[in-house]
Amino acid sequence: MPLDVAPVIRSYETQRTLNPPGIPALAPPPEGETEDIRRIAGRFGEDIPAAGLHHGNQVVYAQPGQLKALATFLRDDPQLQYETLIDVTSVDRSELPLDGEARFQTIYQFRSYSRNQHLTVVTDCRSGTEGNGTSPHVDSLTSVYRGAEWPEREVFDLMGIRFDGHPDPRRILMPKNWPNHPLQKQAPLGGEEVPFTFTWDDPEFDTLGTQILAAESVAPDLPPGMSRQNMVINMGPHHPSTHGVLRLVVELDGERVVSIDPDLGFLHSGFEKTGENKRYKDFVYYTDRMDYLSSMSNNLGYCLTVEQMLGLEIPERAQVIRVIMAEMQRIASHLFWLATHVLDVSGTGMSLLMYATRERERILDLFEMACGARLTVSYIRIGGVWQDLPDAFVAELKDFLRLMPQKISEYEAMVTEAPLWQERLKGVGHVSAEDALAMGLTGPMLRGSGVDWDLRRDRPYSGYEEYTFEVPTRDSGDCYGRFTLRLEEMRQSVRILEQAVDNLPSGLYRSNNRKVALPPRAELDVSMEALIHHFKLMTEGFHVEPGFFYHGIESSKGELGFFIYSDGSAKPYRLHVHGPSFNNLYAIDHISRGEMLSDVVTNIGSIDIVLGEVDR
Amino acid sequence: MGIEEKVPEGILTTSLDSVVNWGRANSTWPLLFGLACCAMEMIATGTARHDIARYGSELFRASPRQADLMIVSGRVSNKMAPVIKRIYDQMLAPKWVIAMGICASAGGPFNNYAIIQGVDKIIPVDVYVPGCPPRPESLLYAMDMLRAKQRRETIGAGRKVEEPLAVDEIMPLGV
């Protein structure tokens, strides 16, 4: 029996939720203006239908015909200098009350590092009838920002929007023979019927646990641009040093890499579609499973985005606990990166894996103290954190912080000065600052090329402005630079943790706003009102004002952004995750060209990818 | 007693099944194959604190030809399913499969278009481990259960397990 990939539509999935009057609604027009918006409006005039501030973000609506001109202006104008296109996403508005407006919109996030500005551009897609073909389409920005290539492929794959002028318009995540574009609203969520008493007669359950499917594989194509004159080899998805299920098609001339075509999607889990079908509070648990090496950062990024859409104030103690958790997670994630990087490069160096995971286990123990879980924590919730820190936590953390700096020096003593290690890393995987900006790289990949940017310092959230820490940068732009940079980042995280743990305020660990955050368990026994709030939050959830918002945080891998389009109901209408690994992995082709095949392994380790986040 | 009284000192007699199963159960080499979150716990099981080497399973082999055990550690997507099926087919018999975590066992929280609802749809599974992700201790317990299963196998025709085993029978709790 072949693997049946066509999703089944079931009646209960098409039932609409009960909504208050006026909901669902479109996002309201932006209000107010800023210097940048005046500048853009002055240049484009009537071609900008609306511009202003929305949830504090600068938003510009552009006509589809002017999109490319606008992007070029944003990049090249000396007063704007938006060097980087951070993210491309899209929304299918077919379930919203449209009044002749376009069904599909694409949404772009631009960032100016030199001026510390963020700008969102929204464009209606041309409908299929206006051009050739039937799917909606819009101009590609790959000729302006190189890094748009993969995000645009992702939008095409999941939403079915074609990009005119895109150099490589293939699917990127789903198999090439997939029948639909899953994020379009008419595409069902899919999945399987769950056996309950009322579904027990479903014939699907007759074969439950007994079926063995053929799972026939589709013969792979030669990626465009590759020549059979050279040797084309396949690396992954089952390979010890691809850090998960990544497949690289490598074109080799002898031992030298000519080009690399990464094949993604072997861990595509439909996070974004699932998010559209979950209430806001229920998606926190899914964020754990995206970048499973930094669950706390994922929780934090998602909760901050929702909280800012709600305009929710977070108590001070919760803020500090969040910073403690996020920084511990950064250390844990970097420790795991270090362990696997050394293992990959050396091939046999198990000792650093054992040492680094020894310290990581201590961090996981601390997580377990706080929330009972080691890996998928779901500790940071909308409105604060799940529960207060236990009494023994602070002493244990202080003990760990005393230990950690000398352990980092121990790792350094093992590898940093080792001649073989330097031989394998120095000058390998070089990326210049201009290329890093053009490709939309973030995090250590960007700082390793000399761009001094850290969201914690430059666009602070969760009270990071109150901590003293340095943002390390390296000008070398190679794997060795990124290696020493991450070690230094661990030291800085220890520094932040020391400040946070010394100044841990007392007070609430979760917001007192009962419309959003659950009341403490003890209150349910004594207060009827608390019981009602609890029931309402658990059954219905809370509603978020119509609108959209993008917010990025500095995760261990780079900028982790969440984009939420709300229609006013209790579930996100569209939820998009900008995973830093996804954009950083785009660089693998660029930085590996001309190098040896064994350097590809070094480069993968140096980019520090997590496939759960790349494929989502 | 019996024949051992007649043969020189130092010689024991046993059944061939017992010897082979003893060897298999104490050196089950897993495939170096991680899928998602559970793979992190699988690696943690292999490192110093949990030390899977105590059970003779520390040698994670990257080649399916050298591996006896496939630990499916994470969610199986539609794109990955043919690959897993092929890797399983490449492993040499006798071979065993542990479905680690709820995603590999039954799809877990990802009941959607992308994820296969349990790896048992494409390959036979010997031990299911609940958890999201299971702790390293759970995986070690699963390996205990697998060893109990391995000890009851026969190298004779069909390699069939004699009868279905109850959980208490395999590994009574508290042992």
CA distance readout (Å), A615 to A144, A351, A378, A411, B20: 25, 31, 20, 31, 42
- Measured CA to CA, the distance from residue A353 to residue A360 in angstroms comes to 10
Question: Could you tell me which chain B residue has the CA closest to the CA of A283?
Answer: B109
> Is beta strand A84-92 parallel, antiparallel or unpaired with respect to A574-578?
unpaired
Q: What's the confidence (pLDDT) of residue B174?
A: 46
Q: What number of other Cβ atoms are within 10 A of residue A27's Cβ?
A: 23
Among B58, B112, B119, most A C-beta atoms within 10 A, so best to mutate, is B112
Looking at chain A, the domain(s) classified CATH 3.30.460.80 span 31-164
Question: Which contacts qualify for A34-38: CB closer than 8 Å, 24 or more apart?
Answer: A34/A58, A36/A79, A36/A80, A36/A117, A36/A119
Say whether domain B34-150 belongs to CATH 3.40.50.12280: yes
Cis peptide before A24 (omega within 30 of 0): yes
Which amino acid, one-letter code, is at B67? Answer: A
Nearest to B75 by CA among A24, A616, A315: A616
Among A269, A556, A575, most B C-beta atoms within 10 A, so best to mutate, is A269
Question: Does the beta-carbon distance from A216 to B133 stay under 8 Å?
Answer: no
Displacement of CA A49 from its chain's centroid (Å): 30
- Measured CA to CA, the distance from residue A453 to residue A444 in angstroms comes to 10
Lowest-confidence region among A88-92, B117-121, B125-129: B117-121
Angle, CA of A44, A45 and A51, to the nearest 5°: 90
Question: Does the beta-carbon distance from B83 to A266 stay under 8 Å?
Answer: yes
Q: How far is B38 from chain A (nearest CA, A)?
A: 9
Q: Give the start-to-end residue ranges of the domains of chain B.
A: 34-150
Q: Under CATH, which number does the domain A31-164 receive? A: 3.30.460.80
Window B:15-54, CB contacts with A under 8 Å: 32-37, 39-41, 43-44, 47-49
Closest to B47 (Cβ–Cβ): which among A244, A289, A357? A357
- Measured CA to CA, the distance from residue A183 to residue A277 in angstroms comes to 11
pLDDT above 60 for B11 = yes
- Measured CA to CA, the distance from residue A49 to residue A63 in angstroms comes to 7
Angle, CA of B30, B32 and B38, to the nearest 5°: 90
Give chain B positions within 8 Å (CB) of A182: 113-114
Q: How far is A561 from chain B (nearest CA, A)?
A: 20
User: Tokens representing A307?
Assistant: 């909280």
Q: What's the confidence (pLDDT) of residue A133?
A: 56
Q: What's the confidence (pLDDT) of residue A96?
A: 85
Question: Could you tell me which chain B residue has the CA closest to the CA of A610?
Answer: B36
Closest to A194 (Cβ–Cβ): which among B35, B82, B111? B111
Give chain B positions within 8 Å (CB) of A293: 40
Stretch B155-163: mean pLDDT: 58
For residue A55, the number of C-alpha atoms closer than 13 Å in the C-beta half-sphere is 26
Question: Does the beta-carbon distance from A361 to B44 stay under 8 Å?
Answer: yes
Q: Which residues contact A426 (CB under 8 A, 6 or more apart)?
A: A476, A478, A479, A480
Total CB pairs under 8 A between chain A and B: 144
CATH topology for A274-540? Cytochrome-c3 Hydrogenase; chain B (1.10.645)
Left, alpha or beta for A44 (phi > 0: left; psi -120 to 50: alpha)? alpha
Q: What's the confidence (pLDDT) of residue B160?
A: 53
For residue A136, the number of C-alpha atoms closer than 13 Å in the C-beta half-sphere is 25
Give chain B positions within 8 Å (CB) of A174: 79, 114
Q: What's the confidence (pLDDT) of residue A493?
A: 93
Stretch B85-104: mean pLDDT: 89
- Measured CA to CA, the distance from residue A496 to residue A468 in angstroms comes to 7
What value of ipTM does the predicted structure carry?
0.85
CB A83 within 8 A of CB A112: yes
- Measured CA to CA, the distance from residue A362 to residue A368 in angstroms comes to 10
Lowest-confidence region among A208-222, B86-100, B107-121: A208-222
- Measured CA to CA, the distance from residue A123 to residue A66 in angstroms comes to 9
Give chain B positions within 8 Å (CB) of A219: none
Question: Does the beta-carbon distance from A374 to B41 stay under 8 Å?
Answer: yes
Q: How far is A245 from chain B (nearest CA, A)?
A: 6
Q: What's the confidence (pLDDT) of residue A129?
A: 62
Q: What's the confidence (pLDDT) of residue A168?
A: 87
Q: What's the confidence (pLDDT) of residue B10?
A: 80
Closest to A245 (Cβ–Cβ): which among B80, B82, B135? B80
Nearest to A173 by CA among A164, A165, A182: A182
Among A173, A176, A180, A192, most B C-beta atoms within 10 A, so best to mutate, is A192
- Measured CA to CA, the distance from residue A564 to residue A275 in angstroms comes to 10
Q: What's the confidence (pLDDT) of residue B175?
A: 39
pTM, entire model: 0.90
Question: Does the beta-carbon distance from A289 to B118 stay under 8 Å?
Answer: no
Closest to A237 (Cβ–Cβ): which among B74, B83, B121? B83
3-state secondary structure A289-339: CCCCCCHHHHHHHHHHHHHHHHCCCCCHHHHHHHHHHHHHHHHHHHHHHHH
- Measured CA to CA, the distance from residue A174 to residue A616 in angstroms comes to 11
Residues of chain A falling short of pLDDT 50: 1-2, 5, 14, 131
Window B:116-145, CB contacts with A under 8 Å: 117-118, 120-124, 132-133, 135
